Amino acid sequence: MKVIEESVRPWGKYSVIKDEPNYKLKVIEVNPGHRLSYQYHNKRSEVWTIVKGSGEVTIEGNTEIVHYGDCITIKQNEKHRIKNNSNHALVFIEVQIGSYFGEDDIVRIEDDYNRIK
């Protein structure tokens, strides 16, 4: 797998493996006990496929447990987050579809690491 971009975050890391005009693919790893911010996007939707581990996904305030092989669809403007509540890495593939895929399209509502945007 060729990595185009990699970024370490307080909750883990992500690697961009494909960046096209009409979609973007990321491999996202969430460290044990950590979670992404509760957020939404104005210009994209996402599909997450869990490829390792398990966790909790919250979409619009509704939380469910997810495991290896589960697919989660997040529509544009839906508030969402994922948490790794295990002792092992949680890894998922994120497919972004929309008109813009920049990190500045993240609107954070809650964040464990005090990031504003």
Sign of the Cα pseudo-torsion (23, 7, 79, 92, in order): positive
pLDDT digits (tens, 9 = 90+) for 67-106: 999 999 999 999 999 999 999 999 999 999 999 999 999 9
d(CA 1, CA 39): 28
pLDDT digits (tens, 9 = 90+) for 14-58: 999 999 999 999 999 999 999 999 999 999 999 999 999 999 999
Position 1 scores a pLDDT of 79
- pTM score, two decimals? 0.95
Contact in structure between 104 and 55 (CB atoms under 8 Å): no
